[in-house]
Chain A
Amino acid sequence: MLLAFASLEGRAGSVGAAESVPDSLVTVLDEVSVTSVKQMTGLRDDPEAATILTRAALEQLGALDLRGISDVVPNFYMPEYGSRITSTIYVRGIGARMDNPSVGLNVDNVPYLNKDAYDFDIADIASVEMLRGPQSTLYGRNTMAGVINISTLSPMRYQGWRVMAEGGNGGRAKVSAGWYHKFSQKFGIAAIAAFSHLDGFFRNEYNGKKIDKENNWSGRLRFNWNLSSELTVQNVAASSFLKQGGYPYESKESGKISYNDTCFYRRFTFTDGLTVRYAPENFVLTSITAVQHLDDNMTLDQDFLPEDFFTLTQKKRDTALSEDIVVRGNRVGETYNWLFGAFGFFKHLDMKAPVTFKDKGVAELIEAHRNSANPDYPIRWDSRSFCLNSDFLTDTYGLAVYHKSDVTLGNFNISAALRLDYEHSTLDYHSYCSTSYTIYQRQGEDFIPYHKIPVDIDDKGKLSRSFLTLLPEVAATYMLPNGHGNLYAKVNKGYKAGGFNTQMFSDVLQQRLMGIMGIGAQYDVDDVVGYRPEKSWNFEVGTHLDLCSNRLSLDADLFYIDCRDQQLTMFPDGTTTGRIMTNAGKTRSFGGEVSVGWHLNDRVNLSGSYGYTNARFMEFFNGISDFRGKYIPYAPRNTLFLQGLYTLPTNSKILGKVVFDLNLRGTGKIYWNESNEDVQKFYALLGASVTLGDERLSLKIWGRNLTSTSYRTFYFMSMGNEFFQRGKGTEVGATLRFSI
């Protein structure tokens, strides 16, 4: 579905800096983007529920990252909680808080394989395309709920300097500068640098310091080289370094954000995508080669209390190489068109994840647990702090071939696609710990040492899993007469890769430790951390309509998703603290989405989108409770976006024009747990802005959540304690854009 206001916005050209070429849908697709490579026609002509946001629309929204389009895209929800590593996305009731994402992300054609890198600021976005519903046939693994394609501005389309500076409350400061130069009609280069800073909005009452402070540096170097009319080359290298606090988690019991151990997240990323396009008369061959590297460190006070229970550090170094080769018939408008593709990737992850138990954690989580079972022979740990270490090496590679055929007969278009996808993953783990405790024996009122137990864990192992799957897709489109749009129906299969959930190893080690103390059942590591792929069948009907001489654009769709082998955590019987990852669940979700854009006249643009999702468990027994019929937690039932733009010309060459923007974003209900006992009711955030200026120089004064609506973005439990993250209150700021 195309979010109509975006394209109308682009056509109207009401807001935005100068560009050499108008920022329209057509020119976006002229770029060698992964979408233009794989879609048979334009997104809006395809049987796709897609939203396209142009650069102008994104700037109007103030969106520099994916969170900025949450709710704007119907049924797309990316809450802000924790830190930028916790970039969970929910689409149509499907999401993933752990490991593999449910939504794919391509940035300048680089397929991001690690969802830890999904949340980032990016300057000078040319367009964002969000395709909802499974895209696994063409885009492969981890696109079960959809795929997002981000393209940045090309030096072949814009030349000159672009500067942005922004300030706001919370100590917000952002600056970016981009230089775009075309040396000839054949070669252009762009260099962009950006920095952002945030003092933070939340304070840790334990030490009085702001905890969600952030500094972020990023840079991008891009060149486009048209070697001939048939051969073009594009390379985009990007890098960023992030350092932030984060994790403003509030205890439900005390209502306070208060914890004593350090929390931070640091991340370095580097990506490079080389796209080579060869387009003789009869076909187009495109090669997309990508390399990506992530080096991060997440350190947490895992109890989030002002007490010494335990801390967690997770350091990752993740390097991936991917190659996607697509050959497509160049027969637009003819009866038959075709596409063949082959995809391969290799990914190497080196991770260390030590959990440190501190004095109170040793006493209450370990000693008390054991001693309640045998008070006559109590134990005491010999040191009041110790570390459970887990090191992992994970290698994953995948190979896939895919094909799509497209037949047009009169006003009807039928397409069928199939992908054969193979993936193999190995995990080398090393869990180790060296500590000891002493058993005491009761003698009258006294306890005397009875036996000393060394705890020397040194477990190594190697696990591997392979997955092979077929991913079909069939779609039919009826094109309405007179270019009024189309009606479509589609059935396809979604796929989220299986693998290993290394986060479970801390549970495995804790159970192992309890096992040495004689308590609890042990795990088979393969059973606990390994999980199979998650699969879904998606049934969808929809329409793209252009009415009133293309001044009114309306997209609507209805969907039903049957999801099997859902990857969930559960509690095995007979254990006390442990969880395992398992393919235990079946869910179904149905709903609908509608997006409207109305270019009322040269001054007024109205737009809106609404998404409804009813997502429930059909099967899910977590080892303790049966959640059949309950709503899937964290996935919002409704998303709403309304926006009105009024453009007032000043008839002054200096002042340009004034654009008034009033908008509303709504989300909810959101259930926070499987039992559906805790809930965030539907809430709406009012935003507004006034932009003064022209295409070269503009100043925008903006505000978000102007009514200081109170809401929560996240909920979790740790050691039986409940925590929330509050949403941000009122944000105000100003953005200056300068282009020459």
Chain B
Amino acid sequence: MKLQKISRILLMQGVVAAGMALTSCEPSTGEATQTITYPSLNFVTQLDGSGSMLSWGSYTFNFNYTEQKESVATSNLVVNNTTYAFSTNGVRYEDISPSRGMGLYAEGFAGNTGTSYQLEDCAFFISSFPIPEGVEYVPNKKWIPIIQDSNNPNKSDYHPGAMYRPNYDIPPLLVGRYRIGNLFDVVTCSTDMSFFGVTVTSYPPDNSYTTDKMIYRVFLDIKKNTADVVIYDAKFAEPAPALATVYLPSLKLTLKDGNYEIEGTDVVPMVPEGEGNDATLLPYPNFNFKHFKLSTVPGSLLSKVDVEYQVGAMFKGVFSGKYVNLPSKMMN
């Protein structure tokens, strides 16, 4: 069980990095173009009030850097066993900033077999991870919580469960929203999201510990309606040791009013020890989570979460954080 669990984490990490990129320079026009496909999760809210649902999907972006234009297309949005597809025209993208990402506000038509619908309020945002406060942005060095460099597993600075700045670029992250006719709203994002923010832990008699180093990573499994949560640099009190990686497996995933909640009680966390094939996930009963609850913030396009939990008998933690820095226009 131990190795399989780790492999699963590594595999899911790999899925994020698996956005396939094809970069080229059109010989005929001399234009710089790129095509990237992002695996993602579609969060569908039906406009007739019949509920929300999750489905796998993917989005393909065609960039023309020469003209600063991009278009987006999908062919595998599945709702109630019906597959929808759309492809937008190339429109000018907004370069929010080199460190924050780029936004796409497109129009087009979506449809299933034989029917066409207006694509409305279509906005996508491609971003790097938000850089923690006080950290200097270094081009080509993005902050990510890393388990393994999937491009180079033998990297000398491979640090399991650590947060560090790798010297390679990672694929940007995706958040999108759009409406298909009067059928449903779709919010799309990765199934593997990491949330940065501030954690405040309180413990008796009247102590508190505040840190912005703890990162909460979420893996959603829509087939099982479960989620795994990984907390990096978990430190619940000033004098307590920091745990590099705390793994909370198979928490309950529920959909609620266009948002989701991840919840668990009496969860014994697992902490990886060792490296490579010799690694193991070890139960840490001393750090038993009496309860854990993660909720997406309504209106945030699933990009913000609130977390509250209790570790052992006395450590109560609260966290508010975000996945990407969405531009305000995206929220309108």
- CB < 8 Å neighbour of B235 from A456, A460, A523, A574: A574
Asked if B255 is at the interface of the complex by the 8 Å CB criterion, the answer is no
B-side interface residues, number (CB < 8 Å): 32
> Do B286 and A574 touch across chains, with their CB atoms under 8 A apart?
no
Residues of chain A within 8 A (CB-CB) of B233 are 521, 574
Residues of chain A within 8 A (CB-CB) of B286 are 373-376
> Do A576 and B280 touch across chains, with their CB atoms under 8 A apart?
no
Q: Which of A20-28, A30-38, A235-243, A512-520 contacts B (4 or more CB under 8 A)?
A: A512-520
Give the nearest-CB partner of A518 in chain B. Answer: B271
A250 to B2, CA, bound (A): 49
Asked if A393 is at the interface of the complex by the 8 Å CB criterion, the answer is no
Residues of chain A within 8 A (CB-CB) of B282 are 374, 377, 439, 451, 518
A512 to B164, CA, bound (A): 13
A564 to B278, CA, bound (A): 46
- CB < 8 Å neighbour of B284 from A374, A451, A452: A374
> Do A461 and B273 touch across chains, with their CB atoms under 8 A apart?
no
Asked if A626 is at the interface of the complex by the 8 Å CB criterion, the answer is no
- CB < 8 Å neighbour of B213 from A518, A524, A527, A573: A573
Prevailing SS type, chain A contact patch: mixed
Asked if A230 is at the interface of the complex by the 8 Å CB criterion, the answer is no
Give the nearest-CB partner of B242 in chain A. Answer: A574
Give the nearest-CB partner of A576 in chain B. Answer: B241
> Do A574 and B213 touch across chains, with their CB atoms under 8 A apart?
yes
Asked if A205 is at the interface of the complex by the 8 Å CB criterion, the answer is no
Asked if A454 is at the interface of the complex by the 8 Å CB criterion, the answer is yes
Asked if B103 is at the interface of the complex by the 8 Å CB criterion, the answer is no
Separation in Å of the A74 CB from the closest CB of chain B?
A: 40
Asked if B165 is at the interface of the complex by the 8 Å CB criterion, the answer is yes
Against A, the Cβ 8 Å flags (1 = close, 0 = not) of B258-297 are: 0000000000000111110010101111110000000000
Q: Which of B22-30, B49-57, B65-73, B154-162 contacts A (4 or more CB under 8 A)?
A: B154-162
Residues of chain B within 8 A (CB-CB) of A384 are none
> Do A516 and B273 touch across chains, with their CB atoms under 8 A apart?
yes
> Do A453 and B244 touch across chains, with their CB atoms under 8 A apart?
no
- CB < 8 Å neighbour of B280 from A375, A453, A520: A453
Against A, the Cβ 8 Å flags (1 = close, 0 = not) of B1-15 are: 010000000000000
Asked if A405 is at the interface of the complex by the 8 Å CB criterion, the answer is no
- CB < 8 Å neighbour of A521 from B157, B163, B165, B283: B163
Known: A377-B283, A451-B280. A460 touches B156 (CB 8 A): yes
Asked if A678 is at the interface of the complex by the 8 Å CB criterion, the answer is no
- CB < 8 Å neighbour of B244 from A374, A451, A515, A525: A515
Identify 28 residue pairs between A and B in the complex whose beta-carbon atoms are under 8 Å apart, listed by A's number: A373-B284, A374-B271, A374-B282, A374-B285, A374-B286, A375-B286, A376-B283, A376-B284, A451-B273, A451-B274, A451-B280, A453-B273, A453-B274, A459-B157, A461-B156, A515-B159, A515-B160, A516-B160, A517-B273, A518-B243, A518-B282, A519-B244, A520-B242, A522-B159, A524-B157, A574-B233, A574-B235, A576-B241
A385 to B245, CA, bound (A): 27
Residues of chain B within 8 A (CB-CB) of A443 are none
> Do B159 and A519 touch across chains, with their CB atoms under 8 A apart?
no
Give the nearest-CB partner of B277 in chain A. Answer: A454
> Do A524 and B283 touch across chains, with their CB atoms under 8 A apart?
no
Residues of chain B within 8 A (CB-CB) of A451 are 2, 273-274, 280, 282
A515 to B233, CA, bound (A): 10
A520 to B157, CA, bound (A): 16
Residues of chain A within 8 A (CB-CB) of B272 are 518
Against A, the Cβ 8 Å flags (1 = close, 0 = not) of B133-164 are: 00000000000000000000000110111111
Asked if B208 is at the interface of the complex by the 8 Å CB criterion, the answer is no
Asked if A369 is at the interface of the complex by the 8 Å CB criterion, the answer is yes
A574 to B239, CA, bound (A): 10
A-side interface residues, number (CB < 8 Å): 34
> Do A454 and B278 touch across chains, with their CB atoms under 8 A apart?
yes
Those 8 A-B pairs whose CB atoms lie nearest each other, nearest first: A522-B162, A522-B159, A453-B274, A574-B242, A518-B271, A524-B164, A518-B273, A574-B233
Separation in Å of the B192 CB from the closest CB of chain A?
A: 21
Give the nearest-CB partner of A457 in chain B. Answer: B275
Asked if A372 is at the interface of the complex by the 8 Å CB criterion, the answer is yes
A454 to B286, CA, bound (A): 24
Residues of chain B within 8 A (CB-CB) of A521 are 162-163, 213, 233, 242, 244
Asked if B33 is at the interface of the complex by the 8 Å CB criterion, the answer is no
A472 to B192, CA, bound (A): 53
CB contact list, A415-473 vs B, under 8 A: 439, 451-454, 456, 458-461
> Do B159 and A369 touch across chains, with their CB atoms under 8 A apart?
no
CB contact list, A360-376 vs B, under 8 A: 369, 372-376
Give the nearest-CB partner of B272 in chain A. Answer: A518
Separation in Å of the A532 CB from the closest CB of chain B?
A: 12
> Do A439 and B164 touch across chains, with their CB atoms under 8 A apart?
no
Residues of chain B within 8 A (CB-CB) of A524 are 157, 164-165
A515 to B163, CA, bound (A): 11
> Do A515 and B161 touch across chains, with their CB atoms under 8 A apart?
yes
Known: A375-B286, A524-B165. A519 touches B242 (CB 8 A): yes
> Do A453 and B278 touch across chains, with their CB atoms under 8 A apart?
yes
- CB < 8 Å neighbour of B243 from A369, A372, A373, A454: A373
Against B, the Cβ 8 Å flags (1 = close, 0 = not) of A694-732 are: 000000000000000000000000000000000000000
Known: A374-B282, A520-B244. 4 other contacts (CB 8 A): A373-B287, A376-B286, A451-B280, A518-B245
Asked if A260 is at the interface of the complex by the 8 Å CB criterion, the answer is no
Against A, the Cβ 8 Å flags (1 = close, 0 = not) of B155-185 are: 0110111111100000000000000000000
Asked if B75 is at the interface of the complex by the 8 Å CB criterion, the answer is no
> Do B280 and A519 touch across chains, with their CB atoms under 8 A apart?
no
Asked if B60 is at the interface of the complex by the 8 Å CB criterion, the answer is no
Asked if B202 is at the interface of the complex by the 8 Å CB criterion, the answer is no
Give the nearest-CB partner of B238 in chain A. Answer: A624
- CB < 8 Å neighbour of A372 from B2, B156, B241, B273: B241
Asked if A330 is at the interface of the complex by the 8 Å CB criterion, the answer is no
A232 to B159, CA, bound (A): 59
Separation in Å of the B198 CB from the closest CB of chain A?
A: 12
Asked if A575 is at the interface of the complex by the 8 Å CB criterion, the answer is yes
A439 to B281, CA, bound (A): 11
Known: A375-B286, A453-B280, A574-B233. A522 touches B241 (CB 8 A): no
> Do A439 and B273 touch across chains, with their CB atoms under 8 A apart?
yes
- CB < 8 Å neighbour of A459 from B156, B241, B273: B156
A568 to B59, CA, bound (A): 48
A518 to B269, CA, bound (A): 12
Asked if B211 is at the interface of the complex by the 8 Å CB criterion, the answer is yes
> Do B163 and A519 touch across chains, with their CB atoms under 8 A apart?
no
> Do B242 and A575 touch across chains, with their CB atoms under 8 A apart?
yes
Separation in Å of the A442 CB from the closest CB of chain B?
A: 9
A523 to B242, CA, bound (A): 13
Residues of chain B within 8 A (CB-CB) of A516 are 160, 273-275
> Do A520 and B241 touch across chains, with their CB atoms under 8 A apart?
yes
> Do A454 and B274 touch across chains, with their CB atoms under 8 A apart?
yes
Give the nearest-CB partner of A575 in chain B. Answer: B242
Separation in Å of the B180 CB from the closest CB of chain A?
A: 44
